[in-house]
Amino acid sequence: MNCKQVQDLLPEFVDRQLKQTFLAGVETHLKACSECETLLTIYRQNMQLLGSFPEVEPPPDLVEKIVRRTAKPAGFLALMERYLRLPAPVLLPAVSALLILLLGPAFLQMNTVPSRSANKYIHRAWSYSTRLYGKAEGMGQEIATFKNIFMLILDRRVEKVQEELENYRKQKNDQQSSQTSYITCDGNGSHQGAINHVLHES
Amino acid sequence: MLIKKYQRRVYNLCYQFFGRAGRAEEMTQEVFMRLYGSLNRYNFEMEFPTWLMSVARNLCIDFYRHHKKEKFVDIDVVAALPAPNGDGPAAEYERSEAHRTIHEGLLRLSDDLRMAVILRDIQGYSYDEIAAVLSAPLGTVKSRINRGRLELARMLMAQREAGELGGTA
């Protein structure tokens, strides 16, 4: 038997799985060939080293990180978050603004009002985006405002944009006021802050 | 909790496969994310740890094949859990050096051979379990393990000879 043949049979030889017909030939070769004998020694040492391979300790915050990630929404938003490394509250307005910046001027450049079907598709796309993002992080109102402004620009009613923004600000202020009164009542255990707030508003 | 129970096993498999602590952490997170998203596809004929390992194996191999240009031969030295036998610092150092050398050798094996050797010789899975994890016939599994072990021994022998030659020159 030559070195190549013997070396290929070493795993079975070490595992005592080698057929009787080859055993004597391998043993005789190993006694005479120092190279194959060294390989056998290293092979055995490796087996021992691999068997005692040290276990390593995972980072202490690994479980927490996994739990945090599994709690996040799956799908497109998670994918965006993972690759852009931005949280949802930043991504949503950023994506919407980008869409407006990219598509708005293109339509304006055409110098025509978009056709009915284009209009329909824009509405449908916005409706889809609203459904997709609307509930996330309470951004529904922002998305709706973006959509309204976008449609106003397309309809060449730019003068109404200011009005739309005013409406949005007003709604936001109302929302914050109601939240403030609620927090004041609940948080301090005293109704005085809420009463003051209501009085001030009226 | 599943994550707490199995994170160490998955993390160790990933660390042994990539030799990088950061990559192992990232891959462990991916494994559990994948698991979380595919629990409804769990094959009840398979033991849960075996299924988990097959998810980990698939992700590790996929990642490795997509990033083949990255060098995987440098390993991060990660603090190992204390060995059960309390040898002196010199023996401890010698053993850890030997482990580092063999780990570097492992990282030079092809992905299939490396995974087979890790599962059998380090993680201690049976041939049948490995066949289930790798979704491969028993004969293929045995052949991969044997080829992996032999290639590793040849590699380390060549390295040792080159070292001796370098020492004498």
Residue A2 phi, psi dihedral angles, 5° rounding:
-95, 175
Q: Is B138 at the interface with chain A, CB within 8 A?
A: no
- B2-168: which CATH topology? Arc Repressor Mutant, subunit A (1.10.10)
Which of A35, A51, A67 is the endpoint of a domain?
A51
Q: Counting beta carbons within 10 angstroms of the beta carbon of residue B59, is it exposed (0 to 12), middle (13 to 18) or buried (19 or more)?
A: buried
Q: Is B153 at the interface with chain A, CB within 8 A?
A: yes
| A76 falls within a domain | no
| A12 falls within a domain | yes
Q: A77-91 pLDDT, tens per residue?
A: 566 666 666 555 566
Q: B141 with B130: CB under 8 angstroms?
A: yes
Q: Which domain holds residue A20?
A: 3-51
Measured between beta carbons, the chain A residues lying within 8 angstroms of B103 are: 53
Average pLDDT over residues B31-39: 83
Q: Which of residues 38-77 of B touch A (CB under 8 A)?
A: none
| A61 falls within a domain | no
Burial letters A23-32, b for 16+ CB under 10 A, else e: eeebeebbee
Average pLDDT over residues A169-179: 70
Domain count of the fold of chain A = 2
Q: B53-102 pLDDT, tens per residue?
A: 999 999 999 998 888 766 555 666 655 555 555 667 787 788 888 888 99
Q: Do B16 and A53 touch (CB under 8 A)?
A: yes
Q: B64 with B72: CB under 8 angstroms?
A: yes
Q: A21-48 pLDDT, tens per residue?
A: 899 999 999 999 999 999 999 999 999 9
Task: Give domain limits for chain B.
Answer: 2-168
- Single-letter amino acid code for the residue at B103: H
Rounded to an integer, what distance in angstroms lies between the CA atom of residue B148 and that of residue B169? 31
Which of A51, A75, A90 is the endpoint of a domain?
A51
| A185 falls within a domain | yes
